[in-house]
Amino acid sequence: MRWRTIIPINILRYTLWDTELNGYYIPKDSFVLANLWPVHHNPKYWGNDAEEFRPERFLSEDKKELIKSEYFIPFSIGKRSCPGESYARTEVFLYFTAILQKFHVSLPVGAKPDFDGQLGIGLGPKPYDVCLKKRF
Protein backbone atom coordinates (compact mmCIF):
# COMPACT_ATOMS: atom_id res chain seq x y z
CA MET A 1 0.00 0.00 0.00
CA ARG A 2 3.00 2.30 0.35
CA TRP A 3 5.17 1.07 -2.47
CA ARG A 4 2.29 0.97 -4.97
CA THR A 5 -0.32 3.37 -3.66
CA ILE A 6 -3.66 2.07 -4.96
CA ILE A 7 -5.43 5.44 -4.95
CA PRO A 8 -2.56 7.93 -5.33
CA ILE A 9 -4.78 11.02 -5.70
CA ASN A 10 -6.97 11.64 -2.69
CA ILE A 11 -10.54 12.94 -2.82
CA LEU A 12 -11.24 16.60 -3.47
CA ARG A 13 -11.27 18.96 -0.54
CA TYR A 14 -11.93 22.68 -0.58
CA THR A 15 -10.72 25.55 1.52
CA LEU A 16 -13.13 27.19 3.95
CA TRP A 17 -11.19 30.45 4.07
CA ASP A 18 -8.21 32.17 2.48
CA THR A 19 -5.08 30.46 3.71
CA GLU A 20 -1.37 30.20 3.16
CA LEU A 21 0.52 26.91 3.10
CA ASN A 22 4.29 26.71 2.76
CA GLY A 23 4.37 30.18 1.20
CA TYR A 24 1.52 29.50 -1.26
CA TYR A 25 -1.66 31.58 -1.10
CA ILE A 26 -4.82 29.47 -1.46
CA PRO A 27 -8.07 31.45 -1.79
CA LYS A 28 -11.32 30.47 -0.08
CA ASP A 29 -13.42 27.85 -1.94
CA SER A 30 -10.41 26.46 -3.84
CA PHE A 31 -10.41 22.75 -4.58
CA VAL A 32 -7.38 20.94 -3.21
CA LEU A 33 -6.11 17.45 -4.02
CA ALA A 34 -3.64 15.54 -1.89
CA ASN A 35 -1.22 13.44 -3.93
CA LEU A 36 -0.21 10.52 -1.71
CA TRP A 37 2.33 9.08 -4.18
CA PRO A 38 5.13 11.56 -3.34
CA VAL A 39 4.53 11.11 0.39
CA HIS A 40 4.91 7.34 0.03
CA HIS A 41 8.07 7.65 -2.11
CA ASN A 42 9.91 10.51 -0.42
CA PRO A 43 13.48 9.53 0.59
CA LYS A 44 13.22 12.05 3.44
CA TYR A 45 10.67 9.75 5.12
CA TRP A 46 11.61 6.32 3.73
CA GLY A 47 15.37 6.52 3.14
CA ASN A 48 17.36 6.28 -0.08
CA ASP A 49 15.69 2.96 -0.87
CA ALA A 50 12.17 4.46 -0.91
CA GLU A 51 11.55 3.00 -4.39
CA GLU A 52 12.35 -0.53 -3.22
CA PHE A 53 9.80 -3.04 -1.96
CA ARG A 54 10.97 -3.77 1.57
CA PRO A 55 8.06 -4.75 3.83
CA GLU A 56 10.49 -5.30 6.70
CA ARG A 57 10.82 -1.51 7.02
CA PHE A 58 7.59 -1.71 9.04
CA LEU A 59 9.08 -4.16 11.56
CA SER A 60 11.18 -3.48 14.63
CA GLU A 61 14.84 -4.50 14.50
CA ASP A 62 14.06 -7.80 16.23
CA LYS A 63 11.23 -8.34 13.68
CA LYS A 64 8.70 -8.90 16.47
CA GLU A 65 6.72 -5.67 16.40
CA LEU A 66 4.93 -3.67 13.75
CA ILE A 67 6.13 -0.08 13.46
CA LYS A 68 3.53 2.49 12.43
CA SER A 69 4.79 5.43 10.42
CA GLU A 70 3.01 8.78 10.37
CA TYR A 71 4.02 9.01 6.69
CA PHE A 72 2.18 5.83 5.70
CA ILE A 73 -1.25 7.20 4.76
CA PRO A 74 -2.86 4.99 2.08
CA PHE A 75 -6.32 5.74 3.51
CA SER A 76 -5.62 9.47 3.91
CA ILE A 77 -5.56 11.17 7.31
CA GLY A 78 -7.72 13.32 9.51
CA LYS A 79 -11.41 13.30 10.17
CA ARG A 80 -12.18 12.63 6.51
CA SER A 81 -9.96 9.60 6.08
CA CYS A 82 -11.46 6.50 4.50
CA PRO A 83 -14.24 5.14 6.71
CA GLY A 84 -13.56 1.63 5.40
CA GLU A 85 -9.92 1.52 6.53
CA SER A 86 -10.32 -0.95 9.40
CA TYR A 87 -12.66 -3.11 7.31
CA ALA A 88 -10.22 -3.12 4.37
CA ARG A 89 -7.23 -3.96 6.56
CA THR A 90 -9.14 -6.79 8.24
CA GLU A 91 -10.37 -8.20 4.94
CA VAL A 92 -6.94 -8.11 3.32
CA PHE A 93 -5.39 -9.79 6.37
CA LEU A 94 -8.04 -12.53 6.51
CA TYR A 95 -7.97 -13.09 2.74
CA PHE A 96 -4.21 -13.53 2.52
CA THR A 97 -3.98 -15.49 5.76
CA ALA A 98 -6.57 -17.98 4.50
CA ILE A 99 -4.75 -18.42 1.19
CA LEU A 100 -1.30 -18.75 2.74
CA GLN A 101 -2.54 -21.27 5.33
CA LYS A 102 -3.86 -23.56 2.60
CA PHE A 103 -1.44 -23.03 -0.29
CA HIS A 104 2.19 -22.46 -1.21
CA VAL A 105 2.04 -19.53 -3.64
CA SER A 106 4.63 -19.04 -6.39
CA LEU A 107 5.09 -17.70 -9.90
CA PRO A 108 5.21 -20.11 -12.83
CA VAL A 109 8.71 -21.36 -13.64
CA GLY A 110 10.67 -18.65 -15.46
CA ALA A 111 8.11 -15.92 -14.81
CA LYS A 112 9.25 -12.62 -13.36
CA PRO A 113 7.01 -10.38 -11.25
CA ASP A 114 5.77 -7.18 -12.88
CA PHE A 115 5.06 -4.50 -10.30
CA ASP A 116 4.24 -1.65 -12.69
CA GLY A 117 0.47 -2.03 -12.49
CA GLN A 118 -2.11 -0.47 -14.76
CA LEU A 119 -3.91 2.78 -14.20
CA GLY A 120 -7.67 3.05 -14.05
CA ILE A 121 -9.67 4.74 -11.33
CA GLY A 122 -6.86 3.49 -9.13
CA LEU A 123 -3.65 1.55 -9.63
CA GLY A 124 -4.32 -2.16 -10.11
CA PRO A 125 -2.17 -5.14 -10.97
CA LYS A 126 -1.68 -6.23 -14.55
CA PRO A 127 -3.06 -9.71 -15.28
CA TYR A 128 -0.67 -12.41 -14.07
CA ASP A 129 -0.51 -16.13 -13.36
CA VAL A 130 0.35 -17.76 -10.04
CA CYS A 131 0.81 -21.36 -8.98
CA LEU A 132 -1.02 -22.61 -5.91
CA LYS A 133 0.22 -25.86 -4.38
CA LYS A 134 -1.99 -27.27 -1.66
CA ARG A 135 -0.35 -27.57 1.76
CA PHE A 136 -0.71 -30.93 3.49
Q: How far apart are CA 88 and CA 34, in angstroms?
A: 21
The helices-and-strands tally (H runs, E runs) of the chain is 3, 8
Q: Does 131 count as an annotated binding residue?
A: no
Q: pTM here? A: 0.65
Most confident among 28-37, 93-102, 124-133 (mean pLDDT): 93-102
For the segment 109-117, the average pLDDT, to the nearest whole number, is 88
What pLDDT digit, counting tens, does each position of 31-74 carry? 988 888 888 889 999 999 998 888 899 899 999 998 888 888 88
| CB contact set of 83 (below 8 Å; sequence gap of 6+) | none
Alpha-carbon 119 to chain mean position: 15
pLDDT mean over 98-111: 96
pLDDT digits (tens, 9 = 90+) for 72-85: 888 887 777 788 88
Distance CA 132, CA 69 (A): 33
For residue 122, is pLDDT > 80? no
